[in-house]
Structure 1
Amino acid sequence: MSGVDRRNVDMLRNEFERQMTNFAENQKRINEVTATAVSPRRELSVTLGPQGTLMELNFLSSAYRRLAKNELSELVMKTIADARGKLNDQLAEIMTPMMPPGLDIKAVLEGKVSAEKLAPDESRLPALLRERLNRG
Structure 2
Amino acid sequence: MDYPHSERLHQLTSQYRRQLAEVGETQRKLREISCTASAPRHAVTVTVTHGGVVADIKFPSGAYRRMAPAELAGVLLKTLAEAQRLARRAAAEVVAPTLPPGMDAQKLFSGEVDLQSLLTPEPELRDVTRDLMDIRD
TM-score, normalising length: structure 1: 0.79
CA deviations over 1:20-50 (Å, ceiling 9, x no partner): 0010011011112110111122111100013
3-state secondary structure, aligned to 2:112: coil
**Cα pair 1:47 1:54 within 8 Å, conserved:** yes
Structure 2 Cα separation of the partners of residues 14 and 42 of structure 1: 51
Q: Which runs of no fewer than 5 residues in structure 1 stay unpaired? A: 121-136
After TM superposition, the structure 1 = structure 2 runs for residues 106-125 of structure 1, keeping only pairs within 5 Å, are 106-119=106-119
**Cα pair 1:103 1:117 within 8 Å, conserved:** no
1:21 equivalent to 2:21? Answer yes
CA deviations over 1:25-77 (Å, ceiling 9, x no partner): 11011112110111122111100013211011001111112222221111001
Structure 1 Cα separation of the partners of residues 70 and 29 of structure 2: 36
**Cα pair 1:34 1:49 within 8 Å, conserved:** yes
Q: Which runs of no fewer than 5 residues in structure 2 stay unpaired? A: 121-137
Q: Which protein shows a greater Rg?
A: 2
Q: Number of matched residues?
A: 120
3-state secondary structure, aligned to 2:5: helix
Q: Note the aligned Cα RMSD (angstroms).
A: 2.0
Structure 1 stretches of 4+ with a deviation exceeding 3 A read 1-4, 116-120
CA deviations over 1:77-102 (Å, ceiling 9, x no partner): 11111111111121111100111112
TM-score, normalising length: structure 2: 0.78
